[in-house]
Amino acid sequence: MGLQIGLGSRIRKSPFFDALVRHGLTHVTVYNHMYMPGSFGDPDEEYRALLERVSLWDVACERQVEVVGPDAFALCQYVSARDLRGMAVGRVRYAPMCDHDGVLLNDPMVLRLAEDRFWISIADSDVLLWCQAVGAERGLDCRVFEPDVSPLAVQGPRADDTMADLLGEWVRDVPFFGFVETSHDGIPFVLCRSGWSGQGGFELFLQDGSRGLDLWDAVWAAGEEYGIHPGGPTLNERIESDLFSYRADCGAAATPLEVGLERYVSLDRDDDFIGKSALLAERSRGPARRLVKALLSGERLAATSEHPWPALSPGGSPCGEVRVAVWSPKHDSNLCLALVSSDVAGGPFTTETPTGEVLQATHLAYFAE
């Protein structure tokens, strides 16, 4: 089914938007109240470019929540389920956030720009409101706002070559989840070794929205000899690479222990954080559901699943949902992420597609383990 998206000022365009259109953008979605590019018309080629060459993505919709001031660390530490102590300036941590019941509300990465200044680089929910409310109601002395920052991702095996040609050989030494503030041709940005693929590369956090097209064009020119291609977050690749997608993989009512993020949750911290007691109780009794990666039987799926499909246990009872189903080139099979009851999560189950086809699911792994 092809549905067009209405364009209007309620949803924001990114500073890179006109470049996307010029490169033949065909599909978008909406993320953090912004348009996010989905495809330029050839998903197979986009997958290949990401795995074999270099891919350029407008991920401006990965908004920043800036927290700055004397209590900035205290606020970030209290809203993060992960312990942020020991984090140096210039480094990043992936830090899930929960509500007071231990329910995941976002899974940002946190960048420390200065001792008292952070960017919370968010998935799709209004963390800005959450942090403003918590900070103000606790009387913390810090400012919480959305800065003019728009990430552009350069991903794939030739991302290092592309960025070295653009900025210099020094970029090869930027460590994973490390960043530097830099500029090119007067365009200020933070260069960070990160990105939502398993293929390596950088995110360039543009700090002047008026220079979006200049930055896009500069990276594009540097990448041409490496076969750069326009793209966006790539659903099958990110599942193959065990990258979690908040909402897609779990809706808005799952815990980090259910979805395989336990290693990023510092439950044994000696200080308090939002959701701690609920998560400790859940760890004691064990999570009720688990997110699993499974192979799916049947012919190659023509498109990504549009919505969750019911999952059934071997005995035929409802046991959860297949959240995402896609064709995986890596596995040469259909692949899915399913959020299912813990008692069936380690084994086979079935799912029924909207056309009534029953597919067999074969357990591959607990997600991200």
Interface positions with a second copy (CB under 8 A): 1-13, 21, 25-30, 33, 35, 38-39, 99-100, 105, 124-127, 129-130, 132-134, 136-138, 146, 235, 245, 247-248, 251-252, 274, 304-308, 323-324
Cβ proximity to a second copy: between 35 and 73 the closer is: 35
Residue 118 or 226 with smaller CB distance to a second copy? 118
Q: How far is the CB of 227 from a second copy (least distance, A)?
A: 24
Nearer to a second copy, 27 or 363 (CB): 27
Dihedral (Cα; 215, 219, 224, 225), 10-degree rounding: 150
- CA separation for the pair 23, 32 (Å, rounded): 23
Q: Please, what is the minimum distance in Å from the beta carbon of residue 282 to a second copy?
A: 17
Question: Least distance from C-beta 354 to a second copy, angstroms?
Answer: 9
At its nearest, how many Å lie between a second copy and the CB of residue 266? 20
The strand pairing partners of 56, in sequence order, are 154, 230
How far, in Å, are 41, 112, 120, 207 from residue 143 at the CA level? 42, 15, 13, 18
State the minimum distance, in angstroms, from the CB of residue 166 to a second copy.
29
219 vs 274 by CB, closer to a second copy? 274
- Closest approach, Cβ 138 to a second copy, in A, equals 6
Distance CA 189, CA 151 (A): 9
What count of other Cβ atoms lies within 10 Å of the Cβ of residue 214? 17
Considering beta carbons, is residue 29 or 353 the nearer one to a second copy?
29
Question: Which residue, 161 or 237, has its beta carbon nearer to a second copy?
Answer: 237
Rounded distance, CA 179 to CA 59, Å? 17
∠89-91-93 over CA atoms, to 5°? Answer: 125
| Tokens of residue 152, six digits | 């552009």
Letter string b/e over residues 340-351, b meaning 16 or more CB atoms within 10 A of that residue's CB: bbbebbeeebbb
Q: How far is the CB of 222 from a second copy (least distance, A)?
A: 27
Least Cβ distance, residue 171 to a second copy (angstroms): 32
Q: Which is nearer to a second copy, 248 or 288 (CB)?
A: 248
Q: Look at the block and give the residue holding tokens 């019911």.
A: 310
- Asked whether 162 and 223 are in contact (CB, 8 A), the reply is yes
Reference 115, options 52, 151, 79, 73; nearest CA is 73
Judged by beta carbon, residue 87 or residue 127, the one nearer a second copy is 127
Residue 44's CB is within 10 A of a number of other CB atoms, namely: 9
- Cα separation values, 65 from 98, 109, 150, Å: 16, 11, 12
